[in-house]
C-alpha cells in the first residue's frame, strides 16, 4: 500500500491531468471541421468544452488549498483485485470465458478470502460452472469459448 500521499499533491496531479486532457482535446479538435459561430461543426463543441476545462483546471491548480491531509492510496487487496480483473480481460478471449472466470475466482478467493488453496480452487470451479449455467445456458449470452 502506498501511504501518506499529501492530499494537495494529489489534487494538483488531478488538476494537471485535466489540463493535459483539455490541451489534447483542443489539439485533436482543431483537426476536425469547427464550422462557424452560426453553424457549428463537429469540432466546435469539444473545443469549447476543452477551453472551459482548461480554465477550470487552472482554477483548481491555483485555488487556495484546504488543510493538507495524508491520503492512503491502493490497499494491497485493491491492487490484487485490479490485477485479477486485468488478468481475466487478457485471458478472456485466449483461453475462453469460463476457464478465465474459474482462475479469476480461485485466485481472488485465495488471496482476498484468505482460504486454503484447494478450497479456493473448488469454489472457483463451482463459481465458473454456476456462471456458465446462469449466463450461457439459461440466459444464452454469447461468451467466448463457451
Partner 1 sequence: MQTLDYLLHGFAIALTAKNLFYCSIGCLWGTVVGVLPGVGPLAGMALLLPLTYKLDPTGAIIMLAGIFYGAMYGGSTTSILVRMPGEAASVITCIDGYEMARKGRAGPALFLAGAGSFVGGTLSIIGLMLFAPILATVMLKVGPAAEFILMIFALLVVSFVALGSRLKVLAMIIVGLLLATVGIDSLTGWSRFTFGQLELSDGLNFVALSIGLFGVSEILLSFEETTKVKPIKPTLRQLLPNREELRASRGPVVRGSLIGFVFGIFPGVSHIVSTFVSYAIEKRLSKTPEEFGRGAVAGVAGPETANNATTGSSLIPLLVLGIPAIPSTAILLSAFLIHGVQPGPQLINDHPDVFWGLIASMYIGNLILVALNVPLVGIFVNLLRIPFGYLAPIILLISIIGVYSVNANILDVWVMLGAGVVGYLLRKFDYDVAPLLLALVLGDRIETNFRRALTISDGDYSIFVQGPAARVFICALALVVILQGVAIAAGYDQRTASEKDAGG
CB of 18 to partner 1, least distance (A): 6
Please give the residue ranges that form the binding site for partner 1 (CB under 8 A).
7, 10-11, 14, 18, 21, 25, 28, 32-33, 36-46, 49-50, 52-53, 56-57, 59-60, 63, 71-75, 77-78, 81-82, 84-86, 88-89, 92-93, 97, 101, 104-105, 108-109, 112-114, 127, 131, 135, 139-143
Q: Residue 14 or residue 116: which is nearer to partner 1 going by CB?
A: 14
CB of 38 to partner 1, least distance (A): 2
Provide the grid cell at 99: 476457464
Q: CA 134, 144, 96, 92 torsion: positive or negative?
A: negative
CB 112 within 8 A of CB 138: no
The DSSP secondary-structure symbol of 113 reads S
CB 71 within 8 A of CB 7: yes
Amino acid at each position: 500500500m502506498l501511504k501518506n500521499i499529501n492530499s494537495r499533491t494529489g489534487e494538483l496531479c488531478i488538476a494537471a491531468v485535466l489540463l493535459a486532457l483539455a490541451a489534447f482535446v483542443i489539439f485533436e479538435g482543431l483537426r476536425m471541421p469547427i464550422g462557424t459561430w452560426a453553424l457549428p461543426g463537429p469540432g466546435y463543441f469539444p473545443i469549447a468544452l476543452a477551453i472551459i476545462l482548461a480554465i477550470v483546471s487552472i482554477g483548481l491548480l491555483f485555488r487556495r488549498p484546504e488543510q493538507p491531509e495524508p491520503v492512503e492510496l491502493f490497499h494491497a487487496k485493491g491492487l490484487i483485485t485490479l490485477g485479477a480483473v486485468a488478468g481475466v480481460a487478457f485471458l478472456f478471449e485466449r483461453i475462453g470465458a469460463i476457464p478465465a472466470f474459474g482462475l479469476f475466482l480461485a485466485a481472488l478467493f485465495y488471496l482476498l478470502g484468505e482460504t486454503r488453496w484447494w478450497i479456493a480452487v473448488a469454489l472457483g470451479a463451482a463459481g465458473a460452472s454456476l456462471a456458465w449455467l446462469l449466463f450461457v445456458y439459461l440466459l444464452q449470452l454469447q461468451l467466448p469459448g463457451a
